[in-house]
Amino acid sequence: MSWSKLTLAVFLLIPASWTRVSRLNSAIDLAEESYAKAEYEQSVTNHQILIDEFGYASPELDYNQGLSNQYAEKVDEASGYFDKASIAPNKMLASFAFNQGGVILGNKKEYEPALSKFKSALIQDPNNEVARHNYELLARWLQRDQERKDQEDNKPDPSDFAKRKKAEADRMVEQFRFKDALNLMNEALQQDETVAAYQDFITSLQEITEIDEK
């Protein structure tokens, strides 16, 4: 190949490269714009174009695509992208990805796996205050829920006496005689410990009575 032809070939390649870079930058801008406008379905599509048409790949893109899918209510797809982003070398980004994965699991009532995600988020970045809040809140809720279940398991079966007193109290409640119903149940509890089976009912009466007396 002569120098003249080589030079021509180089000059012909440069515009093509410039065109691709320009198109890529435009696609990135479009993806960012659709997300900023809360057009999440379109944001999913625009981010997918970066992957399919440009072969663009990065943990940041995975995280952004995860958010777009999450807010578009495509939680299974979002979880996959957050899992990919959670192995990012950038610890802060990985922490954010773990946290979002935990949010999705928590919304699906998969509480123990969600707690594990929040813990992983804090391991990646101990300064992630959102993940810390989520972890502490869920941990406390799980503890209280377990305590409540333990109390339920340990509740005695109400005796016939306890059932009669509960029925009497129910009739008083129907007449809006909450304080009388509370006094009845407390007196019955002193006579028969199985009345404790209705502790939630007694607690509710106590709360209503306190409100009425204010």
What's the pLDDT tens digit per position in 155-213? 778 899 999 999 999 999 888 888 999 999 999 999 998 998 888 888 888 888 887 66
Domain hosting 197: range is 154-213
Q: How far is residue 96's CA from residue 126's CA, in Å, rounded to a whole number? A: 11
pTM of the predicted model, to two decimals? 0.63
Tell me if 191 is assigned to some domain. yes
Q: How far is residue 130's CA from residue 104's CA, in Å, rounded to a whole number? A: 14
Tell me if 189 is assigned to some domain. yes
Tell me if 45 is assigned to some domain. no
pLDDT confidence of 152, banded at 50, 70, 90?
low
Tell me if 177 is assigned to some domain. yes
Assign 135 to helix, strand or coil. Answer: helix
Tell me if 94 is assigned to some domain. no
Tell me if 167 is assigned to some domain. yes
> Across the chain, how many H-helices and E-strands are there?
10, 0
More confident: 153 or 45:
45
158 contacts: CB under 8 Å, gap ≥ 6: 166, 194, 195, 197, 198
Tell me if 5 is assigned to some domain. no
- The pLDDT of residue 10 is 46
Domain count of the fold of the chain = 1
Tell me if 168 is assigned to some domain. yes
User: pLDDT of 80-105, one tens digit each?
Assistant: 999 999 999 999 999 999 999 999 99
